[in-house]
Amino acid sequence: MSLFDHLVLPNGTSISNRIAKAAMEESLATIENSPSEALMNVYKSWADGGSGLLISGNVMVDRRALTGAGAVVLEDSRQLDTFRKLASIGKSGGARFWLQLNHPGRQMPANLQQQTWGPSEIPVDLGGLSKHFNAPKKMTPEIIDEVIQRFAHSAYLAEQAEFDGIEVHAAHGYLLSQFLSPLTNNRTDMWGGSLENRARLLIEIVKRIRNKVSPTFSVAVKLNSADFQRGGFTNGEAKQVVSWLNRLKVDLVELSGGSYEAPAMQGQSRDGRTLAREAFFLKFATEIKQVAQMPIMITGGIKRKKVAEQVIESGVDMVGIATALAIAPNIPNSWKNGKDIVAELSPITWANKPFASLANMAMVRFQLNRLSKSKKTVPNIYPLWALIKQQLSDIFRARRYRKQMDKKVCPSANTK
């Protein structure tokens, strides 16, 4: 296999090359949490850049449960025309375009002032930053069933909006990842305890989605290869979950790792001196590949053509690139044309990992904002400046979101 070979998914869909634009939190939604013109401008840059697959940032299945006030929501048909426009733009260069569907669970900012839900009443532990997240309320069976319905309905709407597929986000400490991890799930009912029970929510969501969409509509899952916390979700458990997903007509599994508490997805080092430091989930992926019957993709730190080629040569089917494509959206075309460009942010050496993680995300969002205005990106921006700018923006957006929520009652999921 080579980086620019086609990839044919189990459902027969063909992807033009092995490079995926992985999900990033854009925070560019309108006041109604629909795709904005700014967001569409960013996706036009990626559509023109040559990636074979574009995976959106978090698209939330419930407007009351967001990763941030600027998140996009797809819970009913009111904004379908806007989503169709986004889909058309994303696919304009020949890429496949999937929406990543998500629910934050306990990782929802407290300043949104909505009820926080989780598998158990275990709060986020970020030391002094913990105050930014409310302790979750334990989800009832009725709330769990509503979440299943919402994921399935959002997937159905994504197909109606002419996207090529969806990816269920079950990684990075969000709700489905919380159910999978024994650190955040201490339930004793059918949704907790054994791995089979902890994985039940993910499995039921995938089943329900498959029943709501057409066979040619791609269904993928983003899964932690491990939580990277003592007593958490392990690589061995990830292998077992993938073996269960084999039975459900899943078209691709993307492997990442970590959570807000242990942000392994951003890596221990960003200097790229070795394959292990740049493609830092590759070892786990090659182990999980032994049981997977669907294509496997890894995301996490990849920014060099040589490393991306080594990943593909190892037997992994796709490479997901995020931060580098926020800096230089045309990387795939450049690599294909023999230009071995490298795009990376200034390193963050702060000892406080959660704080450094926030700064890293702020630096990425700064680049996305530049792209949305057709401006040149600034990879050497100071982390503290980017963080302050992002925090001020988040405060404004959260205030605006609360005012909007005070005016309306969110609809229940359409289960038809």
Cα–Cα dist 101/154, whole Å: 8
Judged against a pLDDT cut of 60, whether residue 277 lies above it is answered with: no
Pick the CATH number of 7-407 from 3.20.20.70, 3.30.300.210, 2.60.40.10, 3.40.190.10: 3.20.20.70
pLDDT at 107: 96
- Please answer whether residues 55 and 21 qualify as being in contact, where contact means their C-beta atoms are separated by less than 8 angstroms: yes
pLDDT tens-place string over residues 5-49:
999 999 999 999 999 999 999 999 999 999 999 999 999 999 999
Phi/psi at 71 (nearest 5 deg)? Answer: -75, 150
Domain ranges of the chain: 7-407
Judged against a pLDDT cut of 90, whether residue 179 lies above it is answered with: yes
In the predicted model, what is the mean pLDDT of residues 308-326? Answer: 94
Which of 61-70, 252-261, 299-308 has the highest mean predicted lDDT (pLDDT)?
A: 61-70
Q: How confident is the model at residue 271 (pLDDT cuts 50, 70, 90)?
A: very low
Burial status of residue 248 (CB atoms within 10 A of its CB: 0-12, 13-18, 19 or more):
middle
Higher pLDDT, 368 or 348: 368
What is the DSSP pairing of strand 14-15 with strand 7-8?
Answer: antiparallel
The pTM is what?
Answer: 0.93
- Look at the chain and count its residues: 416
Q: How confident is the model at residue 285 (pLDDT cuts 50, 70, 90)?
A: confident
Residue 50 has a CB neighbour count (10 Å cut-off) of 23
Helix H or strand E segment including 299? strand 296-299
